[in-house]
Structure 1
């Protein structure tokens, strides 16, 4: 009886502490995203960002992290979950919703990316100049990219030349990247990155394009041990990312708490995302090297053949934007110039 009473007392205290903890913050914000918590951005940027928001607000804002689509839906649903207020915050890949953010695609064109940091800062500058209307339904905290993307294929199908792309089924990240893969001879298969491990293990695809940083969290070193990268200052491609808040959730904050969010948003946050991506690339490459995988770096002459095909994709994209009245040539030139300006 005494033991039962004591347990009941402990439970009551625990519930009381839990209730106090839940109500300690004035504002609770739910952050939803598609990757597991140990992946580069969730671990190195989103979790520290949430802690800093809590600290800077004196505990008045609590950011609850929901990785791996824990709140339901598909990765492609995240932009609407933020827009509609299903959640307060999302981090997502822009390319999961093809055609939704057309001007952002300028950064996904072939052989644009230098480093994650430089290209992310350039993308944020591009947002400030060109994209505010494109993201008018959101309170944007940052936009960014990853570092140079490369090709990863199963053991029997290494890519040592452009000719080796013919007939390969490769997972792509976005409409533009899929068009690039098709132009280079592969069959592009669209799917979220979270579906890649199963698709590789079941031979649904022969490989995928992703940067080094995400390879450990989706077992690429184990499942696709051939890695193809390129010579020169620019990588094959990158992907555009959005870190955004529901507008009503932001507008409901007091002026004091808005300042906390604002101070932890913008160009320098984009830089942090890019830096984390670059550091993740180093770690991901080390995992592949430790596994004894094959990394192929195409020489300048071979890389030039890929760039020639990539130029066709860029010209087609410019023409498509022009038809929409979006000045494709101007957008492309600005993107290139901003990346060059921010690359050391």
Structure 2
């Protein structure tokens, strides 16, 4: 397809045709005109006019001809395919309601110039804990993962996993996004973060044992997704067992673990209601996510492609994803109700006991990040402030 430049060049060149034709006519008729008294001045004027036209056309052609050899602009024609890798199943909520719709939105807004090719369930190889290294090293272009799958690597992010920091998924997702902008840029400086978001608070779901008081939890093997969650469960007397969520169903079914700490929204896509019977609503912690891009790959994008990526991610997407997780809490809980599972809540006194037991986890986090050169107390208070700020929206 010709670009505007090609068409313009051809139009300019076409002006040469009548000039050359006129030259031929003058030459062909010169003898006749000379023989019948044709005036020399008139002939000179006509020749001069033609020469001027030829000169102008030659100049324009000289300028326009290189355009004929230019391909249409890169922004107009380049087709970019970005590979997105993640650990969740193709049927998961994240894949169906977030990742694939986002990929489709990018392709549509770019007019088909940017395509996101999604590879769920670790189809490109490796373990969930490898995802961040894969995107950093350029093995893939984009990943979606849980920062907690690599314990200790993202210590500032962990503040939003600390026990009993209340707040909805919507509030936490926006709070985490602003917290990144203020404090966490160095933590992800070797990639280009696209969006942070959070689930609703986690509860404890067990196979055979009711959890009403601290003593019920003592010695139980409970699956956990991250270091902070593990420290929290340890402080409560449980035995934490780390594993990615796709492995939880089988671990519960085989008795490898006796329970798991997850939000209600995870129950349905992973069918965990089939292998649990008891649920203690405790608002213990939350699961955090990041979608991030290889830094060099992002920097190499055309301005138009960058604009599409930027305009479909960031705070607006974080808010939308938080709302997605929030809205999916009730359907997850409803399944347990329909199956006549026992859903328990802590009394106020018992909740205070749990908070007292887990304060050591909060203090430990403050000490760790302070040792890294930050003011841990300031960061903790700012996280609480941001949760309250977005919780009031």
TM-score in terms of structure 1 length: 0.90
For residue 67 of structure 1, report the CA deviation from its aligned partner.
Answer: 0.9
Query: Of 204, 214, 217, which residue of structure 1 is paired with 2:269?
Result: 217
**Is structure 2 residue 127 aligned with structure 1 residue 127?**
no
Match of 1:95 in 2: 148
Instruction: Give the 5 Å matches for 1:289-300.
Output: 289-300=337-348
Instruction: Give the 5 Å matches for 1:243-322.
Output: 243-322=291-370
TM-score in terms of structure 2 length: 0.79
Q: How far, CA to CA, are the matches of 2:300 and 2:377 in structure 1?
A: 39
Contact 1:25 1:62 (8 Å CA) reproduced: no
Q: How far, CA to CA, are the matches of 2:346 and 2:202 in structure 1?
A: 14
For residue 113 of structure 1, report the CA deviation from its aligned partner.
Answer: 3.5
Deviations 1:311-338 (A, max 9, x none): 2210121112222222211111111110
Q: How far, CA to CA, are the matches of 2:82 and 2:335 in structure 1?
A: 35
Q: How far, CA to CA, are the matches of 2:223 and 2:147 in structure 1?
A: 16
After TM superposition, the structure 1 stretch with the greater mean CA deviation from structure 2, 255-264 or 317-326, is 317-326
Instruction: Give the 5 Å matches for 1:327-342.
Output: 327-342=375-390
Q: What are the ranges of 5 or more consecutive residues in structure 2 without an aligned counterpart?
A: 1-76
Q: How far, CA to CA, are the matches of 1:198 and 1:263 in structure 2?
A: 40
Aligned to 1:216, the other structure's residue is in SS state coil
Deviations 1:258-289 (A, max 9, x none): 10001011111111111111122122112222
**Is structure 2 residue 208 aligned with structure 1 residue 160?**
no
**Is structure 2 residue 87 aligned with structure 1 residue 34?**
yes
Contact 2:222 2:241 (8 Å CA) reproduced: yes
After TM superposition, the structure 1 stretch with the greater mean CA deviation from structure 2, 301-310 or 79-88, is 301-310
Deviations 1:109-130 (A, max 9, x none): 0011411000110000100000
Divergent runs of 4+, >3 A:
none
Aligned to 2:186, the other structure's residue is in SS state coil
Contact 1:90 1:244 (8 Å CA) reproduced: yes
For residue 310 of structure 1, report the CA deviation from its aligned partner.
Answer: 2.0
Contact 2:85 2:123 (8 Å CA) reproduced: yes
After TM superposition, the structure 1 stretch with the greater mean CA deviation from structure 2, 38-47 or 73-82, is 38-47
Query: Of 100, 114, 124, which residue of structure 2 is paired with 1:61?
Result: 114
Query: Of 273, 281, 292, which residue of structure 2 is paired with 1:229?
Result: 281
For residue 37 of structure 1, report the CA deviation from its aligned partner.
Answer: 2.0
For residue 26 of structure 1, report the CA deviation from its aligned partner.
Answer: 0.1
Q: How far, CA to CA, are the matches of 2:389 and 2:154 in structure 1?
A: 24
Contact 2:92 2:270 (8 Å CA) reproduced: no
Match of 2:287 in 1: 239
Q: What are the ranges of 5 or more consecutive residues in structure 1 without an aligned counterpart?
A: 1-23
Q: How far, CA to CA, are the matches of 1:326 and 1:193 in structure 2?
A: 32
For residue 296 of structure 1, report the CA deviation from its aligned partner.
Answer: 0.6
For residue 309 of structure 1, report the CA deviation from its aligned partner.
Answer: 1.4
Aligned to 2:165, the other structure's residue is in SS state coil
Contact 1:113 1:238 (8 Å CA) reproduced: no
Match of 2:21 in 1: none
Query: Of 209, 222, 239, which residue of structure 2 is paired with 1:187?
Result: 239
Size of the alignment, in residue pairs? 316
Match of 2:164 in 1: 111
Query: Of 134, 137, 140, which residue of structure 2 is paired with 1:81?
Result: 134
Higher RCO structure (Cα 8 Å, ≥6 apart):
1
Q: How far, CA to CA, are the matches of 2:104 and 2:83 in structure 1?
A: 13
Q: How far, CA to CA, are the matches of 1:85 and 1:273 in structure 2?
A: 26
Contact 1:41 1:273 (8 Å CA) reproduced: no
Contact 1:108 1:176 (8 Å CA) reproduced: yes
For residue 239 of structure 1, report the CA deviation from its aligned partner.
Answer: 2.0
Match of 1:48 in 2: 101
